[in-house]
């Protein structure tokens, strides 16, 4: 993984652009790229000028960072932004499940049309590598957000065929809930802890859990190891939502409010159908594309067993309430 001291890295002298660069993930990976690599330039691409202004204040006098106002829905703006870029980390998305249900056209424009724009602009500007962030909700989706991200994943994998003789390669990273990201349950539980009651949709509910730092490290590692077409899935622990509530407010009462529309009892990151092309690489899995151009150079991982599926309720790794408390302490 990437340490805190700048040494020789895969990112040295490269220009890296991060879409959604003012979001929770975007800010963290930008900071890490500037601190731990010799990247020549890091470009923050996002559509919110206020968030960009606030982020700029943190980097006064830093000459390796640039800020670019734009929307992934706008191909021409992406084409201009990608000029001279080596790597793209695509983190921009409409990701709130209820918001996507109520604003489906908007979710499609950003998450699907935006993915197509990223792919076409990257190929046309001869970007070397693009890695896109996915979500466990894209696996066997039951809500619109997950469905749009599944389409996005398919587009990025297929982008390697569209690239043709161009050098651009695309891959996807899929992981679970991020501790403390904007709009997540941790800030909500903390806000409600003083009331003495925490709302839980179902006491049986489980989720995959990862810290922002772990997510950033996994994306950077995957960007380095990718050949093009892979869907990278880290091996991360699960947690029970009831244990999360105990970790944040041990004495609070639990109010069971029922599962919301578009919500699963357990999340899944690799389905039984995906498992046919999935290999175990040790600390992570890779779902390989079932396409002729990839089949010629399969990965040397260990094929997973027949019937394998990776879901939060069948996980081998579980976080206790104490481990959760330690994990969220710095969030």
Strand 87-90 with 169-173, pairing = unpaired
Instruction: Give the chain's end-to-end CA distance (angstroms, integer).
Output: 20
**DSSP-assigned states of every residue in 30-63:** HHHHHHHS--SEEEEEES-HHHHHHHHGGGTT-T
The answer to whether residues 47 and 93 touch, using CB atoms and an 8 Å cutoff, is: no
Phi, psi angles (nearest 5°) of residue 132: -110, 140
Q: Which of 137, 240, 246, 264 is catalytic?
A: 137
CA-to-CA distance for 160 and 305, rounded, in angstroms?
28
Look up residue 259 and give its DSSP letter. P
Q: How many angstroms separate the CA atoms of 12 and 316, rounded? A: 37
For 204, which DSSP code? T
Give the whole-angstrom CA distance, residue 200 versus residue 208: 16
| 268 phi, psi to nearest 5 deg | -130, 145
The two tokens of residue 204 are 């049986």
Which of 155, 176, 188 lies closest to 266 in space, CA to CA?
176
Tell me how far apart the alpha carbons of residues 116 and 300 are, in angstroms, rounded to a whole number. 30
Examine the residue annotation and report whether 41 is marked as an active-site residue of this protein: no
Residue 46 in tokens: 């996002």
Q: Would you please indicate which residues are annotated as catalytic (active-site) residues?
A: 137
């Amino acid at each position: 993984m990437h340490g805190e001291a700048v040494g020789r890295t895969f990112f040295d002298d490269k220009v890296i652009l991060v879409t959604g660069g003012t979001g929770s993930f975007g800010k963290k990976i930008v900071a890490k790229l500037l601190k731990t690599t010799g990247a020549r330039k890091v470009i923050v691409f996002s559509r919110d000028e206020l968030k960009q202004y606030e982020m700029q204040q943190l980097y006064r006098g830093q000459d390796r960072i640039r800020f670019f106002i734009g929307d992934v829905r706008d191909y021409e703006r992406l084409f201009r932004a990608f000029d001279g870029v080596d790597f793209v980390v695509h983190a921009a998305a409409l990701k709130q499940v209820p918001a996507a249900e109520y604003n489906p056209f908007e979710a499609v424009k950003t998450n699907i049309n935006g993915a197509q724009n990223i792919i076409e602009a990257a190929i046309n500007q001869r970007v070397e590598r693009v890695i896109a962030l996915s979500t466990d909700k894209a696996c066997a989706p039951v809500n619109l957000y997950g469905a749009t991200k599944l389409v996005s994943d398919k587009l990025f994998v297929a982008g390697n065929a569209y690239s043709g003789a161009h050098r651009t390669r695309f891959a996807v990273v899929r992981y679970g809930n991020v501790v403390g990201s904007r709009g997540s349950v941790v800030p909500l539980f903390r806000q409600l802890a003083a009331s003495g009651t925490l709302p839980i949709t179902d006491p049986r509910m489980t989720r995959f859990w990862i810290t922002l730092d772990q997510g950033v490290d996994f994306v950077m590692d995957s960007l380095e190891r990718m050949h093009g077409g892979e869907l990278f899935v880290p091996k991360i622990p699960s947690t029970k939502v009831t244990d999360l509530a105990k970790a944040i407010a041990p004495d609070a009462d639990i109010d069971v409010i029922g599962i919301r529309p578009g919500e699963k009892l357990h999340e899944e990151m690799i389905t039984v159908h995906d498992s046919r092309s999935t290999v175990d690489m040790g600390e992570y899995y890779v779902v390989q594309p079932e396409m002729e151009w990839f089949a010629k150079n399969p990965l040397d991982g260990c094929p997973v067993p027949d019937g394998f599926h990776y879901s939060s309720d069948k996980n081998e790794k579980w976080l206790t309430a104490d481990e959760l408390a330690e994990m969220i302490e710095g969030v």
